[in-house]
């Protein structure tokens, strides 16, 4: 059972206090978008063995959504950061790259 | 004969005799006994029957690895099957019953399988019961069901209580032997928050039994002294009778504390499940001795050498007068010495090794014990009890060289580290050729959230076998200086997987690998021949290592046999996966406090107490309980519902609507936000007014509905369905936090702040006017508007909204005043015939009016357009959640099923969920369908069945009759009609 | 107002710790920019304390404020004063992007008192209680429902839950406080 530190309230919460929200950094496609773009936004999800970026909500705590970078195979957590992020923080990306040299980036 | 020795027994208190019964026979034991030692001390060697052949089974071990000695323990509400006698402490008045036999333990009909043993090889179940097919149901299954399974299922409600507890520690040390104690001491001195747990009731593990001296003192003394030091450390917590059951991600450790198993009914919880978050875990879980595979090794009286030593030293119990030792290593000589020390006879030590030297064998020889080198046991003689052993050359095929009379055999095939916790979370093992064991591979540990090792295995759990090695290992890995011991050096063991090595089929068929599941050497060899090359497949095929002991004894021997059969090295075969729990834990502990009233949260409205006192027949709505109807004495549920509807339609009814979701949305961008959330436009709603709205998922499907209220220039109140409040609030926050975080909007879930009461019916206005304080006239409070004020002394907000089609007001007051208002309305309404109505009346009245219900008309595949709700969808808006999805070709297709009313031709009620059939069949040969029923009720107002359903081209097919096949071949005929059955003009609510 | 009743009307249970439903308590949710001068001033005026730091709760003379999230405070006042406090806060924050809502009736409050009060919560909440700082407000779950808790006195914890699950929370606290289940 995972523990993740909520970047908003600083609580190291266990999984039962959290709600998982799937892949992070999705771009929304609304009316006027192509079928391909909408399909990608609505249905296509990454399922990597390795580095992954996810949405989590501290639902039994401060109620805030945050993002987490972790390894889906080893469950190592590289870091958590606010949901109001267009992309993972640069220092977090550098940290992951150092630990997982073969990692190809978050996109 | 096994018996209690006159002297000794480091764990028993002879001053405290205890009495217990086994299969109704009264027996005596002592405080400090386990059930097993007490039984053995009372000469009860035969304890049960095996699973498949019903062979007689006795004790093999003295700890968690015991496969046989399982009993039904306790009676009535405290009965529990499969209790391992070796790990349960004796208490006064314990009642035990043996398992797996009929009619009696001594004489068992099932043992007839034993005579046909060669017809029940590995994979027997899979092969035999395949054909003929009918035989499974009528012949095999009933017989197997009666004879299979371990123990009986308890019939009474468990009298005990159980609970969880959460704990946090920098370091959890699992195992209270000398390794664990030494590790805890070092970590404690370093100031870490340490939790040391031990599964038995005693500290010290094996060292005191082995008679080791540590720092010049007997191990017992060292253990007591060190535990005393630990007990005084504020940062160290010690817990006995607590077994680490499983290790999970990020240092999450489950531990099972058996608080009162040894004192049933003393008022304490029986078990406590510790949910521990460990910064790091040290496994000092010791090692388990391996049996040897020789013919007849399952006969009662054949035991592990270490266990024999335990019974003699710890509990002063002799398993037999004459015990033959059979071994491939030095450690078993300690048992020989302990037996002789206790005044018992060891006719010989049968050692498979050709040349036996070293301190321990020499000590045995010095005590006059015969040591037979290069020998093995060809066969054990005996039925329900060992009577002797036939000795052969280990190198040969089993020709008898000598026969030795004995009544017990102590065997040792070497030791296997307990690697379960290490392995639960991905720690890998390495095969140690010299010691013939899998031990933790420190280079591939289980890793935690930081990517670093979260477990360190120390001592015997790490493959160290002597006390010296154990303490040196702790010092090397945890720190500190290792205490000196006087443990004798041991010479190498010689792996022995079959005894004798050249044994033929007849002997191999009697060599038990897994005595609990009756798996023999020959079964594993057969599995290998039949192509089961994966150890996991072999386990399932043969049942090796299944059930309650999970192969603690049989695993290594089994995979060694498999490897040999496949001519590959043991590490190439590998082990089966170690999964939690380490030993079975009680269902009660898993449930914790969640039983009875607090099995799950039950949400209650502020008026719940009144409902309960006034005949409410409750139904669950999400986690809420709501009155389905209010039954009067002698009244059935349906009569009550019909009465409530009739009364609301003709006079006035009141409904507890407090469970409706109430979400406040406020801010400069709140209007813009709600326009994205709802399919309609909410930003233009004037202050003081209400508007019905629909919410869709991004996939376009209808998700929730409700009335939106404009409270002020920048504040809206969104009503949601009762079950949807938390979900929709979360949905709002998700979009605000993760997508439109620059929009200035705040939300708050005020669902529980307000009690809400719907007053509906022709007399509704009169009731409110009688309470007084607010203008609720047609002009003062028109439909779809709201007012705030004081109603009958309560600060209230009244919405003129109707879900019943009647003149209707929904009154919201602070929850704390809800009960008072409810009572005030009841009193004020008395002269106007007011009655409460429940959720079923509400459902039927809304169906009479053709209103949809989320969860009835919607099922996650329905879009608002299907429900003819286009009027609530803005065509002008550029975007709303779900809009893009609804533009997809399938969503816009005219072929989609649309909502219509349905009326049976004979006035009966359509069954719920039935489908309307069409001509022809689909690709699977099933009848084509063209619609289905979504809501169906008996309408007391109209005196007939009414329904709504989704039908292909439905609205264009008014008057058509459809066939709805129901149960039992009956076809219901129903006509497509307008979905509004009652008061189509809406005249009743607009007065 | 005299008609107002709390969820369990002061129900109490004496086990190895005493569990009490604390009765009516004024509670106000304030959402806004906690660093804004206007918010700080309004909070001080309404609650008599400064805006608390992350995860802190500050109580003084029967009033106080707790940090619920980066943009949310829980203001505590006597129940009878809640309405006026809501109006005062709303007036003080006029023109500011903020939300003030009376939640006094949406919640239930409990006190667990006794030398072993922490053990009652240890059985229900996945929280490292020995590490819970004085004046720390922890939002978590109690068994299966959301809860907020803090150490309100020596040997006393205060727990806040939603009102509808008050009897569930009380039941869970009562079960955990039963004599005989003390953790040794």
Average pLDDT over residues B327-332: 98
Q: Is residue C4 part of a domain?
A: no
Q: Last residue of some domain: C102, C118, C134?
A: C102
- Say whether pLDDT at B101 is over 90: no
Q: Could you list the residue range(s) of the whole structural domain that residue C32 is in?
A: 26-102
Max Cα-Cα span within chain B: 114
- Say whether pLDDT at B133 is over 90: no
Average pLDDT over residues B23-48: 96
Nearest residue on chain A to C68, alpha-carbon basis: A62
**Best residue in C57, C69, C142 for a mutation probing chain A (most A CBs within 10 Å):** C69
CA atoms within 13 A on the CB side of B410: 32
- Can B162-288+416-477 and B291-413 be said to share one CATH topology? yes
Do residues B268 and B258 touch, judged by C-beta distance below 8 A? no
Q: Which two tokens stand for residue B431?
A: 């095969």
By C-alpha distance, which of B314, B297, B322, B384 is closest to B47? B384
Instruction: Compare CB distances from C172 to B598, B744, B815 and report the shortest one's residue.
Output: B598
By C-alpha distance, which of B321, B315, B400, B327 is closest to B358? B327
By C-alpha distance, which of B458, B561, B457, B461 is closest to B503? B561
Q: What is the pLDDT of residue B49?
A: 82
Q: Last residue of some domain: C52, C70, C102?
A: C102
Are C17 and C34 found together in one domain? no
Pairing of strands B944-952, C26-31: unpaired
Give the orientation angle of helix B521-529 with respect to helix B555-565, to 10 degrees.
40
CA atoms within 13 A on the CB side of B554: 33
Q: Could you list the residue range(s) of the whole structural domain that residue A85 is in?
A: 3-99
Max Cα-Cα span within chain C: 57
Q: What is the pLDDT of residue C1?
A: 44
- Say whether pLDDT at B952 is over 90: yes
Number of domains in chain C: 2
- Whole-number Å distance between alpha carbons of B535 and B429: 15
Task: Identify the three-state secondary structure at position B831.
Answer: helix
Nearest residue on chain A to B697, alpha-carbon basis: A42
Q: What is the pLDDT of residue C147?
A: 98
CATH superfamily of domain region B162-288+416-477: FAD/NAD(P)-binding domain (3.50.50.60)
Q: Which two tokens stand for residue B603?
A: 């949400």
Q: What is the pLDDT of residue A93?
A: 97
Are C38 and C79 found together in one domain? yes
**Best residue in A72, A75, A79 for a mutation probing chain B (most B CBs within 10 Å):** A75
By C-alpha distance, which of B666, B655, B646 is closest to B709? B666
Say whether C55 and A14 touch across the interface (CB within 8 A).
no
Quick: pLDDT tens for B344-375: 999 999 999 999 999 999 999 999 999 999 99
Q: What is the pLDDT of residue A59?
A: 97
Do residues B595 and C168 touch, judged by C-beta distance below 8 A? no
Q: What is the pLDDT of residue B550?
A: 85
Nearest residue on chain B to C102, alpha-carbon basis: B753
Torsional class of B773: left (φ above 0), alpha (ψ -120 to 50), beta (otherwise): left
CA atoms within 13 A on the CB side of B54: 24
Quick: pLDDT tens for A47-77: 999 999 999 999 999 999 999 999 999 999 9
- Say whether pLDDT at B119 is over 60: no
Are C95 and C31 found together in one domain? yes
Binned at pLDDT 50, 70 and 90, residue B438 comes out as very high
Domain boundaries, chain B: 1-159, 162-288+416-477, 291-413, 511-573, 613-877, 894-991
All residues of chain B having their beta carbon less than 8 Å from the beta carbon of residue C101 are 664, 748, 750, 753
CATH number of B613-877: 3.30.1360.120
Average pLDDT over residues B768-788: 97
Domain CATH code at residue C138 = 3.30.1360.120
Q: How near does any CA of chain B get to the CA of C178, in Å?
A: 9
Q: Which two tokens stand for residue B395?
A: 């190198």
Q: Is residue C3 part of a domain?
A: no
Q: What is the pLDDT of residue B105?
A: 75
Do residues B902 and B944 touch, judged by C-beta distance below 8 A? no
Binned at pLDDT 50, 70 and 90, residue B681 comes out as very high
Average pLDDT over residues B124-139: 64
Q: What is the pLDDT of residue B52?
A: 76
Q: DSSP label at B477? A: H
By C-alpha distance, which of B3, B487, B64 is closest to B285? B64
Q: Is B894-991 a CATH 3.10.20.600 domain?
A: no
Quick: pLDDT tens for B528-551: 999 999 999 999 898 888 888 888
Average pLDDT over residues B558-568: 93
Binned at pLDDT 50, 70 and 90, residue B115 comes out as low
- Say whether pLDDT at B4 is over 50: yes
Quick: pLDDT tens for B7-29: 999 999 999 999 999 999 999 99
Are C117 and C167 found together in one domain? yes
Do residues B559 and B513 touch, judged by C-beta distance below 8 A? no
Nearest residue on chain A to C72, alpha-carbon basis: A62
CB neighbours of residue C98 within 10 Å: 24
- Whole-number Å distance between alpha carbons of B479 and B473: 9
Q: Sheet containing B746-749: give its strands across.
A: B690-696, B702-712, B715-720, B661-666, B746-749
All residues of chain B having their beta carbon less than 8 Å from the beta carbon of residue A42 are 698-699, 885
The matching CATH number, chosen from 3.60.150.10, 3.40.50.300, 3.10.20.440, 1.10.3720.10, for B1-159 is 3.10.20.440
Classify domain B291-413 at the CATH topology level.
FAD/NAD(P)-binding domain (3.50.50)
Sign of the four-CA dihedral B354, B360, B365, B369: negative
- Whole-number Å distance between alpha carbons of C32 and C65: 14
Please give the backbone phi and psi of residue B725, each rounded to the nearest 5 degrees, phi first.
Answer: -55, -55
Q: What is the pLDDT of residue B1?
A: 79
Say whether B879 and A30 touch across the interface (CB within 8 A).
yes
For chain A, how big is the Rg over CA atoms in Å?
14
Q: Last residue of some domain: C61, C83, C102?
A: C102
Task: Identify the three-state secondary structure at position B146.
Answer: helix
Number of domains in chain A: 1
All residues of chain A having their beta carbon less than 8 Å from the beta carbon of residue C139 are 9, 11, 60-62
Say whether C68 and A62 touch across the interface (CB within 8 A).
yes
Q: What is the pLDDT of residue B547?
A: 80
Say whether B601 and C165 touch across the interface (CB within 8 A).
yes
Q: What is the pLDDT of residue B518?
A: 86
Give me the helices (H) in B802-849, please.
818-829, 839-848
Instruction: Compare CB distances from B750 to C101, C124, C168 and report the shortest one's residue.
Output: C101
Average pLDDT over residues A14-18: 97
By C-alpha distance, which of B841, B795, B801, B830 is closest to B815? B795
Instruction: Collect all residues with Cβ–Cβ distance below 8 Å to A43 and sequence separation of at least 6.
Output: none
Q: Which two tokens stand for residue B101?
A: 């036999």
Quick: pLDDT tens for C22-58: 999 999 999 999 999 999 999 999 999 999 999 999 9
Are C98 and C117 found together in one domain? no
Are C54 and C122 found together in one domain? no
Domain CATH code at residue A16 = 3.30.2270.10
Q: Which of residues 509-548 of B touch A (CB under 8 A)?
A: none
Do residues B356 and B373 touch, judged by C-beta distance below 8 A? yes
CB neighbours of residue B128 within 10 Å: 13
Average pLDDT over residues B654-666: 98
CB neighbours of residue B926 within 10 Å: 9
Asked if B224 is an interface residue toward chain A (Cβ–Cβ < 8 A), one would say no
- Say whether pLDDT at A103 is over 50: yes
The matching CATH number, chosen from 1.10.10, 3.30.70, 1.10.3470, 1.10.620, for B511-573 is 1.10.10
What is the residue-averaged pLDDT of chain B?
94
- Whole-number Å distance between alpha carbons of B913 and B411: 66
Domain CATH code at residue C45 = 3.30.70.1520
**Best residue in B239, B797, B816, B819 for a mutation probing chain C (most C CBs within 10 Å):** B816
Instruction: Collect all residues with Cβ–Cβ distance below 8 Å to A10 and sequence separation of at least 6.
Output: C54, C55
Say whether A10 and C139 touch across the interface (CB within 8 A).
no
**Best residue in C126, C131, C147, C149 for a mutation probing chain A (most A CBs within 10 Å):** C126
Q: Which two tokens stand for residue B246?
A: 């499983």
- Whole-number Å distance between alpha carbons of C82 and C86: 6
All residues of chain B having their beta carbon less than 8 Å from the beta carbon of residue A87 are none
Are C18 and C31 found together in one domain? no
Top pLDDT among B688 and B147 is at B688
Do residues A17 and C61 touch, judged by C-beta distance below 8 A? no
Average pLDDT over residues B453-464: 98
Which H or E run includes C14? strand C12-14
Task: Identify the three-state secondary structure at position A107.
Answer: coil
Quick: pLDDT tens for B802-829: 999 999 999 999 999 999 999 999 999 9
Q: Is residue C7 part of a domain?
A: no
Average pLDDT over residues B90-119: 74
Quick: pLDDT tens for C83-118: 999 999 999 999 999 999 999 999 999 999 999 999
By C-alpha distance, which of C37, C91, C47, C109 is closest to C73? C47
Q: CA torsion, points B498, B500, B502, B504, in degrees to nearest 10?
A: -80
Q: What is the pLDDT of residue C133?
A: 94
Average pLDDT over residues B113-122: 59
Average pLDDT over residues B317-332: 97
Quick: pLDDT tens for B278-323: 999 999 999 999 999 999 999 999 999 999 999 999 999 999 999 9
Instruction: Compare CB distances from C69 to A13, A16, A63 and report the shortest one's residue.
Output: A63
Q: Which two tokens stand for residue B647?
A: 């009364």
């Amino acid at each position: 059972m995972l523990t993740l530190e909520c970047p908003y309230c600083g609580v190291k919460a266990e999984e039962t206090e959290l709600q998982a929200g799937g892949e992070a950094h999705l771009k929304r496609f609304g009316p006027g978008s192509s079928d391909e773009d909408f399909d990608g936004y609505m249905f296509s999800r990454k399922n990597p063995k390795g580095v992954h970026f996810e949405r989590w909500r501290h639902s039994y705590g401060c109620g805030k959504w945050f993002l987490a970078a972790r390894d889906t195979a080893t469950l190592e957590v590289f870091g958590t950061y606010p949901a109001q992020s267009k992309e993972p923080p640069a220092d977090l990306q550098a940290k992951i790259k150092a630990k997982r040299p073969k990692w190809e980036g978050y996109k | 004969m096994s018996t209690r020795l006159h002297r000794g027994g480091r764990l028993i208190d002879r001053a405290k005799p205890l009495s217990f019964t086994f299969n109704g026979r009264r027996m005596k034991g002592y405080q400090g006994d386990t059930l097993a030692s007490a039984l053995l001390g009372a000469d009860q060697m035969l304890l049960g029957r095996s699973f498949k052949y019903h062979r007689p089974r006795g004790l093999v071990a003295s700890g968690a690895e015991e496969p046989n000695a399982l009993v039904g323990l306790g009676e009535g509400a405290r009965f529990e099957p499969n209790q391992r006698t070796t790990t349960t402490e004796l208490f006064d008045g314990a009642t035990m019953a043996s398992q797996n036999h009929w009619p009696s333990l001594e004489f068992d009909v099932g043992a007839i399988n034993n005579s046909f043993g060669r017809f029940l090889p590995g994979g027997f179940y899979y092969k035999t019961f395949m054909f003929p097919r009918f035989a499974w149901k009528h012949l095999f299954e009933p017989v197997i069901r009666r004879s299979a399974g371990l123990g009986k299922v308890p019939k009474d409600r468990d009298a005990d209580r159980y609970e969880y507890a959460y704990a946090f520690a920098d370091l959890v040390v699992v195992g209270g032997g000398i390794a664990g104690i030494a590790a805890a001491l070092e970590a404690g001195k370093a100031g870490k928050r340490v939790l040391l747990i031990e599964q038995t009731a005693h500290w010290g593990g094996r060292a005191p039994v082995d008679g080791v001296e540590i720092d010049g003192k007997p191990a017992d003394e060292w253990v007591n002294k060190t535990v005393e030091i630990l007990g005084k450390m504020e940062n160290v917590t010690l817990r006995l009778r607590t077994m680490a059951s499983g290790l999970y991600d990020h240092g999450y450790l489950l531990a099972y504390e058996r608080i009162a198993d040894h004192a049933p009914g003393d008022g304490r919880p029986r078990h406590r499940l510790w949910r521990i978050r460990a910064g790091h875990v040290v496994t000092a879980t010791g090692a388990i001795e391996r049996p040897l595979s020789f013919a007849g090794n399952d006969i009662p009286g054949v035991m592990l050498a270490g266990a024999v030593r335990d019974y003699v030293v710890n509990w002063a119990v002799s398993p037999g007068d004459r015990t033959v030792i059979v071994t491939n290593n030095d450690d078993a000589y300690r048992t020989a010495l302990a037996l002789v020390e206790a005044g018992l006879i060891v006719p010989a030590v049968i050692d498979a090794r050709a040349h036996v030297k070293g301190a321990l064998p020499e000590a045995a020889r010095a005590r006059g014990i015969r040591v037979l080198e290069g020998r093995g046991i060809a066969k054990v003689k005996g039925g329900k009890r060992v009577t002797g052993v036939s000795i052969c050359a280990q190198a040969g095929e089993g020709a008898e060289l000598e026969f030795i009379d004995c009544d017990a055999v102590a065997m040792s095939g070497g030791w296997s580290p307990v690697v379960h916790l290490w392995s639960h979370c991905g720690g890998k093992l390495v095969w140690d050729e010299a010691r013939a064991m899998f031990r933790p591979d420190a280079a591939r540990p289980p890793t935690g959230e930081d990517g670093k090792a979260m477990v360190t295995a120390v001592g015997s759990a790490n493959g160290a076998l002597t006390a010296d090695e154990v303490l040196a290992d702790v010092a090397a890995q945890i720190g500190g200086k290792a205490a000196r011991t006087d443990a004798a050096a041991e010479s190498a063991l010689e792996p022995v997987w079959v005894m004798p090595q050249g044994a033929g089929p007849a002997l191999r068929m009697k060599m038990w690998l897994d005595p609990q599941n009756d798996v023999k050497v020959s079964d594993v060899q057969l599995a290998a021949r039949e192509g089961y090359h994966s150890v996991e497949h072999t386990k399932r095929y043969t049942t090796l290592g299944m059930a309650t002991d999970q192969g603690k004894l049989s695993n290594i021997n089994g995979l060694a046999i498999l490897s040999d059969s496949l001519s590959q090295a043991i590490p190439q075969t590998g082990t089966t996966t170690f999964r939690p729990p380490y030993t079975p834990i009680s269902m009660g502990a898993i449930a914790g406090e969640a039983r009875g009233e607090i099995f799950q949260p039950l949400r209650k409205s502020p008026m719940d107490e009144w409902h309960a006192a006034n005949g409410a027949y409750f139904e669950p709505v999400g986690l809420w309980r709501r009155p389905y109807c209010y039954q009067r004495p002698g009244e059935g549920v349906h009569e009550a519902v019909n009465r409530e509807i009739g009364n609301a339609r003709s006079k006035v009814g009141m409904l507890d609507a407090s469970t409706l979701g109430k979400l406040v949305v406020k801010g400069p961008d709140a209007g813009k936000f709600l326009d994205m959330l709802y399919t309609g436009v909410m930003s233009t709603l004037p202050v003081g007014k209400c508007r019905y709205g629909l919410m869709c998922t991004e996939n376009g499907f209808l998700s929730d509905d409700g009335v939106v209220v404009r409270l002020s220039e920048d504040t809206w109140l969104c009503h949601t369905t009762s079950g949807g409040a938390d979900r929709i609030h979360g949905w709002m926050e998700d979009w605000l936090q993760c997508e439109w975080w620059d929009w200035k909007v705040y939300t708050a879930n005020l669902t529980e702040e307000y009690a809400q009461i719907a007053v509906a019916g022709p007399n509704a206005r009169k009731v409110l006017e009688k309470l007084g304080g607010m203008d609720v006239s047609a002009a003062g409070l028109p439909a779809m508007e709201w007012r705030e004020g004081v109603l009958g002394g309560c600060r209230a907000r009244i919405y003129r909204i109707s879900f019943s089609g009647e003149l209707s007001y929904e009154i919201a007051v602070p929850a704390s005043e809800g009960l008072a208002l409810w009572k005030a309305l009841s009193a004020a309404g008395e002269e106007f015939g007011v009655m409460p109505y429940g959720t079923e009346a509400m459902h039927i009245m809304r169906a009479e009016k053709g209103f949809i219900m989320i969860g009835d008309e919607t099922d996650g595949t329905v879009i608002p357009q299907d429900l003819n709700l286009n009027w609530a969808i803005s065509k002008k808006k550029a975007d709303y959640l779900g809009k893009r999805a609804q533009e997809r070709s399938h969503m816009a297709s005219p072929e989609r099923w649309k909502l219509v009313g349905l009326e049976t031709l004979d006035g009966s009620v359509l069954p719920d969920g039935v489908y309307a059939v069409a001509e022809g069949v689909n690709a699977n040969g099933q009848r084509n369908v063209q619609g289905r029923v979504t809501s169906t009720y008996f309408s007391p107002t109209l005196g007939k069945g009414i329904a709504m359903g989704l039908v292909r081209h439905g609205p264009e097919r008014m008057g058509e009759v459809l066939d709805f096949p129901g149960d039992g071949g009956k076809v219901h005929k129903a006509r497509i009609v307008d979905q509004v059955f009652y008061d189509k003009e809406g005249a009743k609510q607009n007065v | 107002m005299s008609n107002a009743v709390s969820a369990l009307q002061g129900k109490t249970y004496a086990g190895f710790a005493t569990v009490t439903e604390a009765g009516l308590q004024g509670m106000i949710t304030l959402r806004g920019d906690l660093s804004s001068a206007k918010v700080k001033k309004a909070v001080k005026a309404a609650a008599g304390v400064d805006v608390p730091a992350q995860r802190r709760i500050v109580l003084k003379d029967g009033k106080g404020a707790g940090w619920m999230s980066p943009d949310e405070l829980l203001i505590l006042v006597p129940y009878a004063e809640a309405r006026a406090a809501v109006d005062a806060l709303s007036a003080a924050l006029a023109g500011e992007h903020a939300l003030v809502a009376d939640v006094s009736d949406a919640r239930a409050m409990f006190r667990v008192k006794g030398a072993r009060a922490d053990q009652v919560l240890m059985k229900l909440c996945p929280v490292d209680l020995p590490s819970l700082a004085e004046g720390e407000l922890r939002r978590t779950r109690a068994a299966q429902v959301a809860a907020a808790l803090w150490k309100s006195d020596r040997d006393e914890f205060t727990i806040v839950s939603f009102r509808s699950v008050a009897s569930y929370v009380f039941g869970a606290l009562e079960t955990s406080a039963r004599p005989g289940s003390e953790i040794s």
